[in-house]
Amino acid sequence: MTATRTPRATPAAAPVKDPAPDRAGRLRRIRPLTLPAAVLLLLALLPYSALDVPVLLDGPVNSPGSLQLFALCLVFGGLALGYDLMFGRTGLLSFGHALYIAGGAYGTQLAMAELGLGLVPAAVLTLVLGTLAAVVLGAVSLRTLALGSVGFAMVTLAFAQAGSIYVERNPGGLTGGEEGLPLHVDGVPEALVGVQNTAHVYWLALAYLTLVAAVVWTVTARPIGRVWQGIRDNEQRVAVLGRSPFACKLGAFTLASALAVLGGVLHLLVTAGATPHTSTPEFTLTLLVMVVLGGSGTRWGPVVGGVLFTYLDQRLGGWNLGVEPMLFLGALFVAAVYAAPGGLTALGRRRSS
């Protein structure tokens, strides 16, 4: 009796891995960087453009007046984005953010004029001291959250008001009082002084906005960013999961304040002086309006709101509309809030959906 052989099973061929998902994953990682890179390139090339826009600008795009206007818009775009790190991302309503912007401007100015430091050492010293002050004042202010968000807002307002009063009283002639302080040009590199170097100041403002965007977008995409969002939505749930809401909120407050100090340095360079207006609580309220106008808690909203608000604030006075510029701007803001409750950037999301 012959034994029958059982045929061996032929091993199945290994499945060929479809490269399409990998390509799609790479594209998803690259695509979010495409638009910011294109916008950054366009903005970097503006000083080389001699395009004349009659109504929107007083001169060509690369004229000193236009570049200074653009630089101011970029600085406020960065300031609004940094403020939104607290307000839109973490849910902290602060009325004292102007304190750190004024600290950056006045601190750098005094470090150059009184200590004889150059711009970079003066800015670094001011940034370190301003960040330490933010840690202390932020810890004190956050303790009042046990009384509710109104308590935190009022304490930050009190700190800002104290700083504003200090600036206006001009102790020892250090702050210049209501006149402010002109830029101490002896401590500033020659490449940043004079009308002929406005393009360099513009590029520096663009670098500031790029830095703020990189920091804010990076940290909010990290796990700490999701913790901040969780604190904004439900703080008790974050505490139950083992995270310290106080430490996380203090981190957001300190980071936003440090970016504001650096923004104060840029505001000093762009406006060629430290002005007492930057120390007032109304200055913080302006940042809040910018954030709400563009869309709080969004990627581009604070930048759009900061740039648009600053541009209109600077340009409305020269358009002879027949009404007070701030009255017109306020009416425009109310209309924008009614038309787009989530901010101007929400309109684009609605159309795409």
Residue 249 in domain: yes
Residue 147 in domain: yes
Question: For the segment 245-275, what is each residue's pLDDT rounded down to a tens digit?
Answer: 999 999 999 999 999 999 999 999 999 999 9
Task: Please tell me the total count of domains within the chain.
Answer: 1
**Predicted TM-score (pTM) above 0.85:** yes
**Whole-number pLDDT of residue 54:** 85
Distance, CA of 204 to chain centre: 15
Residue with tokens 């002005």: 275
**Whole-number pLDDT of residue 353:** 46
Neighbour-count burial for 71-86, b at 16+ CB within 10 Å, e otherwise: bbbbbbbbbbbbbbbb
Length of the chain equals: 353
14: left (phi over 0), alpha (psi -120 to 50) or beta: beta
Residue 133 in domain: yes
321 or 216: which leads in pLDDT: 216
Residue 350 in domain: no
Determine the Cα–Cα distance for residues 126 and 253; give it in Å rounded to an integer: 17
Q: Which domain holds residue 69?
A: 61-279
91: left (phi over 0), alpha (psi -120 to 50) or beta: left
Question: For the segment 67-126, what is each residue's pLDDT rounded down to a tens digit?
Answer: 999 999 999 999 999 999 999 999 999 999 999 999 999 999 999 999 999 999 999 999
Residue 116 in domain: yes
- Which residues have C-beta within 8 Å of that of residue 102, sequence separation ≥ 6? 163, 164, 167, 264, 274, 276, 278, 279, 283
Residue 76 in domain: yes
Residue 343 in domain: no
Residue 239 in domain: yes
